[in-house]
Amino acid sequence: MERTFGPTEPLSQMTHAEKYRGEGESFREAMNRVASALSDNPSHYQGFRDALLDMRFLPAGRVQKAMGSTDDTTPYNCFVSGTIADSFVDGHDSIMDRAKEAAATMRRGGGIGYDFSTLRPSGSLIKKLGSTTDGPIAFMRIFDSICKCVASSGHRRGAQMGVLRVDHPDIEKFVHAKQNQTDLTGFNISIAVTDEFMHAVEADGDFDLRFGHEVHRTIKARPLWEAIMRATYDWAEPGILFIDRINEMNNLAYAETIVATNPCGEQPLPPYGACLLGSFNLVKYLVWDRDLDRWAFDYATFTADIPLVVRAMDNVVDRARYPLAEQEKEAHDKRRMGLGVTGVANAIEAMGFAYGSSEFTWELGRILRTLANVAYRASAELAKEKGPFPLFDREKFLGSKFVERLEDETRELIAEYGIRNSHLTSIAPTGTISLCADNVSSGIEPVFSTEYTRDVITADGKETFTVTDYGKRVLGVEPKTTSEVTVEEHLAVLGTAQWWVDSAVSKTCNVPTDIEWEDFKGVYLDAWKIGAKGVTTFRLGGKRFGILNETEAAEEEAGEPVSACTVDLVTGKRECE
């Protein structure tokens, strides 16, 4: 019997064909194209191609769409903007220069994160104009309009992340900026929270709001924290970035300062940084263990695939089209990538471990520890062959806090050969590529529902698809769904994942509609304490609505999506594909 490839579910087939293939291109032809574009030799081509055809490895949507194609698109999903200069600075670094760069980036299919903390607070005097500035939120609307107007390639809507530091004088306005369904709909927004602020919250202490070296006001930290928590409780935004931990754990803390992330938060990046993403589909590594009489994880195949993928994704850096020369230089200087996992809930629950249980997190930790160490060793071997990334400093890199967690064998290889890529792991939300893989569970998230309906606008009008969970349909697993997972279990999975990921983790902690207020606030405090770099919560009873109807709760009437940044407003999942 001839081997078949690609998705088998109708919505999965249609979505992959529309988003990631050329006109008339089959799944097999598309994977051949990507493998050919990213391989180094015939052996590498065959091995990498096999992982793609079997859907063991799912490159991010931009990689699948762009590599080997003649389309003028970038394989990088997302970028971070260059530094936005103070409000009325003229010259190459003006706000309008950054707006022009944003338009060029989104036109090529890239999403963008921005740090708006560099802009003067509202009411600040502009001496040469004899007037005052309206502050960061007013300027964010420029970028919001660009996002809505630019038609992203491959039918992809523009995605943006707006970040403001918690100590910026306009922080209270920022907290409330999206508490409607019309303003800044082209943005996800997040607050860069410092350790200083979190300690002040714990101590009920004072906290300075400052711009530059000038303190504008001193406030009590807890009322601001309460306002932030109320906004997330009702509106699922702003998200929280623990910016000091992001920089403390950065492999390149010696060479860069990170102030923002990509739109989904899994890639903290420096100015002009780019995220190159791909995920291992864990359900494809399940094998039936006759002795245990259950599914088991095939570590041998997983370990064999990782070097093939690292080599291929490293080639993206040199073979990609970049919207901006600055982005290209940043990518070549550091060669970062973000390899992650998807289908986690389906795979580990099929092994017999309930989502969030100690057995589940132990297996997840083992898988991610394997991914990290094998990927770093593969990158060191590539450095032996092709040279380390240009900004590699052996002593400083080996002294970074994440690299210190790696196995001795891994560190010894880095010490001997250097390393080709500054960062190698990241966990993205993977909503679209997981759907294209026959609806495996997304990223490290639990299954939202075993069955739901999705309305899709086609050339023939609206078509409704019934989507069933891969774990239940194929593996015979009755999963623990989002509504059954406790906050503690969400955080256990987040903490386990972040420990073995050098970049960051996109994770939504879905909380009960009737969660106690103190318990809700505790999610964020606990996330900070367990070492998370960021956290997002979603409460189904909040004031935002989405596009999914859970089959068993069809009475819920879905409203219009209010974000251009592909945030599912029922599940709360961020989507950056």
Architecture of the domain spanning 78-248+256-265: Alpha-Beta Barrel (3.20)
pLDDT above 80 (res 495): yes
How many CA atoms within 13 Å lie on the side-chain side of 255? 18
What is the average pLDDT score of the chain? Answer: 90
Lowest mean pLDDT segment, chosen from 102-116, 340-354, 553-567: 553-567
- DSSP-based three-state secondary structure for 205: coil
Q: Are 326 and 334 in contact (CB under 8 A)?
A: no
Residue 60, φ and ψ in degrees, nearest 5: -55, 155
Which band of pLDDT confidence, cut at 50, 70 and 90, is reported for residue 147? Answer: confident
Percent residues over pLDDT 70 in the chain:
90
pLDDT above 70 (res 20): yes
pLDDT of residue 126: 75
What mean pLDDT is predicted for residues 179-200?
92
pLDDT above 90 (res 124): no
Which band of pLDDT confidence, cut at 50, 70 and 90, is reported for residue 156? Answer: low
Distance between CA atoms of residues 188 and 112, nearest Å: 10
Strand-by-strand arrangement of the 188-193 sheet: 274-275, 78-80, 111-115, 160-165, 188-193, 239-242, 534-539, 508-511
pLDDT tens for residues 321-335? 999 999 999 999 999
Which band of pLDDT confidence, cut at 50, 70 and 90, is reported for residue 542? Answer: low
pLDDT above 70 (res 550): no
Which band of pLDDT confidence, cut at 50, 70 and 90, is reported for residue 455? Answer: confident
- Looking at the DSSP assignment, which residues form a beta bridge with residue 57? 280
Lowest mean pLDDT segment, chosen from 127-131, 278-282, 455-459, 493-497: 127-131
CB atoms < 10 A from the CB of 403, how many? 18
Percent residues over pLDDT 90 in the chain:
77
Which band of pLDDT confidence, cut at 50, 70 and 90, is reported for residue 158? Answer: low
What mean pLDDT is predicted for residues 17-44?
96
What mean pLDDT is predicted for residues 157-164?
86
What mean pLDDT is predicted for residues 270-275?
96
Give exposure, 405-435, as e/b (b: 16+ Cβ within 10 Å). Answer: bbeeebbebbeebbbbbbbbbbbbbbbbbbb
Residue 49, φ and ψ in degrees, nearest 5: -60, -40
Residue spans of the domains in the chain: they are 10-59+271-417, 78-248+256-265
pLDDT tens for residues 34-83? 999 999 999 999 999 999 999 999 999 999 999 999 988 899 989 999 99
pTM of the model: 0.93
What mean pLDDT is predicted for residues 135-160?
78
pLDDT of residue 169: 98
pLDDT of residue 157: 59
Q: Are 427 and 444 in contact (CB under 8 A)?
A: yes
pLDDT of residue 355: 98
Which helix (H) or strand (E) is 295 found in, with range?
strand 294-297
pLDDT above 60 (res 517): yes
pLDDT of residue 89: 58
Residue bearing the bigger pLDDT, 518 or 127: 518
